[in-house]
Amino acid sequence: MFTRADRLALAYTDFGGTGTFVLALHGTFGRGAVFARLAADLAGRARVVAPDQRGHGSSGRAADYARDAFVEDAADLLDHLALGPAVVLGHSSGGITAYQLAARRPDLVSALVVEDVGPLMRPPEIPHPVLDVRGWPASAPTHDDLARAIEAHVPDSAYFMASAVADGTGRRLLFDWDDMMAVQEGCVGDWWPDWLGSTCPALVLHGGRSPLLPGWLARDMVDRRPGTRLVEFPGAGHWIHDDDPAGVARAVGDFLADPTVPGSPRDLRGERR
């Protein structure tokens, strides 16, 4: 647990091991534990540290869920750990934080891995950048009861249920739905200046079935930013690390081995072979 100067407590998981230091930032509704499989797959090649970002997991709730707050949290944690500059990997909103951190604190970021998020998070390019979760259930007597209650709103509750824990009366979520609305709303915008504001090597992972990163935008990210590679996962959705964990580990491992290797980004594929 790391406590910021403003007394906000931020939990993090250090998966240990040796190799390149990777700071892994989960997306909205997530927690650092979502990177356990990736950390295991990269054992011996990377030491992964994954925080529970503010309002998520075991970290404290906050009054501020604007973009600057998440960037400052990541910077403060890296300063606290004194392990930078780091490869910063981020999924979804965590990916926005990653490339904003690289633009604003280049001394802390040696390379970027951005999983399925782009520099445009607004209509009309992204028709539905915010999932309306107001009033969704936060607790239930059992794990299955809570999963079914959430599935009244979405087809698959697995990602949300990864943040469900036992309490004295049943199962509860480690986040507040209203807080998650604020987190999502803080991500809406045009972030091209931040994406283009750093020069470190970068890898973009794109899920072919994702509603949040269209193919044309993923290709624009590579075309407009030197030193960027693209790996596409045609069969994956937004949560590529769940849909194809082995493929993500392979792509990230190859990138960590030499982030500067130029590639033919349109020819790279991350699906299972």
- 90 and 209, same domain (yes or no): yes
Last residue of a domain, one of 152, 175, 198: 175
- 144 and 134, same domain (yes or no): no
Token readout for 15 is 């998966």
Token readout for 68 is 């600057």
Summarised one tens digit per residue, pLDDT across range 200-223 is: 999 999 999 999 999 999 999 999
Token readout for 59 is 């970290």
Report the predicted TM-score, pTM, of the whole model to 2 decimal places: 0.94
Among 250-254, 260-264, 268-272, the least confident range: 268-272
Summarised one tens digit per residue, pLDDT across range 92-147 is: 999 999 999 999 999 999 999 999 999 999 999 999 999 999 999 999 999 999 99
The CATH code of the domain that includes 119 is 3.40.50.1820
Q: Which of 61, 49, 48, 50 is nearest to 9 (CA)?
A: 61
Q: Measure the CA–CA gap between 36 and 39, rounded to whole angstroms.
A: 5
Q: What residues make up the domain containing 40?
A: 2-138+184-267
Could you identify the residue written with the tokens 């250090």?
14
Count: domains in the chain: 2
